[in-house]
Structure 1
Amino acid sequence: MSKTNKLTKKDINKVFVRNLFGLQWGWNYEKMQGLGYAWVIMPALKRIYKDDPKGMQEALKLQLGYFNTTPAMSHLIIGADMALEEELGTEAEEAVAGLKTGLMGPFAGVGDTLFIAIYRAIVFSIAAYMAMDGNAIGLLIPIIACLGVIAIRYKFTMIGYNQGKKIATGFADSIAPITEGAAILGLTVVGALIAATINFKLDLTFKLGEVSLVIQEQLDKIMPCMIPLGIAMLSYWLLGKKKMNSTKLIFVLIGLGMVLGNLQNIINWIIGLF
């Protein structure tokens, strides 16, 4: 266990303020909000691993991983993350990774609906109509609503921190099952994201006389979403190569999409040569 100092209210407030403004800083296609997340939680890590440089390196490496969710909901995850790091140190590595991976997807779905779609539609519609009627209160409504959301986000930070602390202290002797469960949840969510975000169907049909065979239908019978899974596995494999990065991978996937999207025409052209 590699933990030294307890977090203060000032440390938690620093993390909260950073999360309000900095979670999206450094956004990129490879880690999404990962770089911003590491910057946000840095005050807590500096306190916890103040006298443990090696533990700090391990913790920072973990926090630089992939992360992406609705900013308003991220406070719950970051709050719990701080509590686990504080109570368990580097022993919480797998639990923290599973927590982040497992919750960011569901929280994004809830957060996008509440804090983006519904919030913007209601608040700005009311404000706009009042402003159009010449009512100055319409200018204040977005400000008041924004202050309300900030208060909710602070409450989320404290809820996440307190609940994470209960998990860490209440189940300190049985952290292994919790860690394993979090890891399984994270992997399950990642697997579901592949099928949900990579939507590609092979437009390829073989015809022989009156017989027509649609390749995509046959692949779906073998295993649904086989091609999205293959694309995801290829991407992970390529990213493991020394000179490969996310920018190069994007161009590789664009080229792959062009080839697969025109595979029928390419095959017909090849057949026509003979």
Structure 2
Amino acid sequence: MAEVVKVSKSTQKKSILNWFLSCAVGGNYEFMHGVGFMYSMVPVVKELYPNDVEKQKETLTRHLTFLNTEPEVGTVIHGVTIAMEEQVAAGADCDADQIVGLKSALMGPLAGIGDSLIQGIIIPIVLALCIDLTNNGLVLGPIIYAVAMYAIMVGCMWACFKLGYNKGGDAIVDVMAAGTLDKIMNAAGIVGCCVMGGLIVNYVNLQCALNFTISGTEFNIQTALFDAICPKILPLLLTLACVKALRSGKKSIHIILAMVVFAIIFGLLGIFSA
């Protein structure tokens, strides 16, 4: 086997930049993120096989396969794949099936980790902070959110890429087999629930508007009953009803439409108010 030629750092950055800009471009049910992944491998393949166009075509075709993972944390796959392609270019005993098989093995678990961390924790926390800033009169709140999220996404992509590139596929698989994945998922779920609980209290508004007069005393159902039992219990019940509907297979758009109808009918009847 010839000496392994490492892909330059600038090419690695170009590869991740291509992925960042195109991971969702050309998405379809046949390839999902596969088109974006193939495009991200273009600078790598050109550096590994600078004078062999046929080899470039063969390698890029190998990576035009189904891939569905979380874009930020999923760059672990890029790092592992590029490290393996370096070995292939040096003549190592590593065929296309091994590379494609490893990608398929990693994409599901990494998607679970990434969705829990990015969508379940980081996005709600950053979004809630920027909404508060905007509500307090800071008009740059949306811009701060956009800049912060782009910085987090790029930083996470690069860190996860280097982890896969330096550690290799076997090390990543060992981490998952050791139960680290379950611990991360459980921790992410707990933090995510705490964050969502805070969001429900601050941003889901639902109150009972019914009042009764009993023996000359006004009885407000919201303050005298619901708030006495558990403050913000109605927003909590509404949120739990939406979660149950989602888990039972209802489409989100149908749930949104149902809530609109619910708000119009019960608002006009004077039963509930925001």
**TM-score relative to the length of structure 2:** 0.55
Partner of 2:117: 114
**Offset of 1:52 from its aligned partner?**
3.1
CA contact (8 A) 1:31 1:65 kept: yes
Give the secondary-structure state (helix, strand or coil) at the position aligned to 1:73.
coil
CA distance in 1, matches of 2:145, 2:54: 49
CA contact (8 A) 2:49 2:56 kept: yes
C-alpha change, 1:3 and 1:97, in structure 2 (3 Å) is farther
CA distance in 1, matches of 2:162, 2:139: 35
Partner of 1:31: 31
1:161 aligned partner, one-letter code: Y
Matched, 1:150 2:154: yes
Deviation per CA, 1:228-253, whole angstroms, max 9, x where unpaired? xxxxxxxxxxxxxxxxxxxxxxxxxx
1:118 aligned partner, one-letter code: I
C-alpha change, 1:107 and 1:166, in structure 2 (3 Å) is closer
CA contact (8 A) 2:27 2:33 kept: yes
C-alpha change, 1:42 and 1:119, in structure 2 (3 Å) is same
CA distance in 1, matches of 2:51, 2:24: 29
For 1:190-209, list aligned pairs within 5 A: none
User: What fraction of aligned residue pairs are identical, expressed as a percent?
Assistant: 28
Deviates more, 1:43-52 or 1:158-167: 158-167
**TM-score relative to the length of structure 1:** 0.55
Counterpart among 92, 101, 109 of residue 98 in structure 1? 101
1:157 aligned partner, one-letter code: F
Larger relative helix fraction: 1
Matched, 1:83 2:87: no
Deviates more, 1:126-135 or 1:87-96: 87-96
1:151 aligned partner, one-letter code: G
C-alpha change, 1:56 and 1:145, in structure 2 (3 Å) is closer
CA distance in 2, matches of 1:111, 1:154: 14
CA RMSD of aligned residues (A): 2.9
Partner of 1:127: 130
* Unaligned stretches of 5+ residues in structure 1: 168-180, 186-274
CA contact (8 A) 2:41 2:60 kept: no
Deviation per CA, 1:152-211, whole angstroms, max 9, x where unpaired? 2111122211123997xxxxxxxxxxxxx9xxx9xxxxxxxxxxxxxxxxxxxxxxxxxx
**Offset of 1:25 from its aligned partner?**
1.0
Deviation per CA, 1:55-78, whole angstroms, max 9, x where unpaired? 323212210011111111221101
Give the secondary-structure state (helix, strand or coil) at the position aligned to 1:45.
helix
C-alpha change, 1:46 and 1:165, in structure 2 (3 Å) is farther
CA distance in 2, matches of 1:15, 1:162: 16
**Offset of 1:100 from its aligned partner?**
0.7
CA contact (8 A) 1:3 1:48 kept: no
Partner of 1:161: 165
CA distance in 2, matches of 1:62, 1:160: 19
Aligned length: 170
Q: Which has the larger radius of gyration?
A: 2
